[in-house]
Structure 1
């Protein structure tokens, strides 16, 4: 599980969980109100930062393959040209002058590769605005051949033990709460909402990571079935688990109730589980409380 973006996110989630239990955050005094507003902003920022960082890693993974630009599906070609230009123009307007030159150079290198081997920019998948919206999130999943993003997020969430809810409504509500907490000093964030926000960070992070990683692996190898099916990724994701128990860690297949292996050292079990995963499998690691504490699609990292 080598993603630096994911490692930073899981540390952040651990911090959010610890903060949510503190008496200072739960307090009904002005200090507690400020802390809860700060957590609401930080929780969404963690998700947004992870999505951007993880997509940069996935883009680098795709670029290491043998694809040519002409091999890419039409949707990705449009993302890598029209969307890239739109996002680049928007972001350049918000940059300081010294940063623009290198930024434009990197965009130019990506666009100049349209007649040869792929050199995608991570902005291929990004959003033009200053913050990620629900439509932007859904667009990322569609770009990796998840044609119905919201039902697919709900389905994967249910499989990994998270409340599926209504993902579109949940993310839109999360975004609104973050905006209010950031811009309205009188906005009240409930202490009961904080754990829900943490679960939403996990749900949306795992979903975009899983679908983008599995899709990217298929894209990099030029999988014909993937190229031909706009919903291929949503239909193929497998799942394995590593669960913490009272005295050890154990690996399970998705529908299995008997451990495939067990060991007192989490990393030993995780290493073997990683080797057991196919290039379409998500590996979930959960603690004794059933909370997701790590994950990966081992084929991509």
Structure 2
């Protein structure tokens, strides 16, 4: 039997006009086969060439964000709402948080929540369910730096350490416990915990803070598999130096311990970067949070996403015994 004549394959660049025509033909074929209505040329072009960032990636989702009155929490709440979510702002700064909720509009509501009190964390979860019938995302974001300095091993303030752990680390477990309580029956949902670059590369002047944030990362990794049994996820975000009220407030306190470090931090905040460190804006962190909260990350579980422009890698290599 003779071989059939082979038709040469011609490869053509995938220009927008050709991509539009290919998609148009596919839509028309679909219409003939299953009766699907085709869209206008403008709509079709938009659907072909839009990026995910143009879509409402969290449409229909309900989130609780702690520490939402300022800094990363406030920016995350705004970005979540922009992407279609309804958000419960949980904080202890009543006037400021109410003002933020009013600024963000009808998709934001405020509740007072001291994250060191498990009952208040549970109440924030219950409020989300009461108002919106569900909870999809709990972002455990509130935190404190603790008293500075923290680098004297001979005079460790254990009471201060307990307070830092009560606000920074323990609430991660409370968030997981109570968010999972309402998410597990639906077998969908996620918890996001704000850790820190200091939890990856410890800072001696912030030793207790570093320990608390390293604990958050450990909690996330330890609880990922137990949550997965219920169809749930948990991940952490470790921001690098970020221009937030908390960071700005700590610069004068660091000056007492390390005038050089304080001066460098102030310069970084004012000018945006040093040779090895980039100072991030809260919005740089929110993009990671939106991703983790979205269905795009449905198989991302137990990870710590470090958003620090490579600082921790640089410092980790610098501190390596091999160097």
- Please report the TM-score for the alignment, with normalisation by the length of structure 1: 0.30
Greater helix share, 1 or 2? 1
Which protein has the larger Cα radius of gyration, Structure 1 or Structure 2?
A: 2
Larger RCO (alpha carbons 8 Å, 6+ apart): 1
- Please report the TM-score for the alignment, with normalisation by the length of structure 2: 0.28
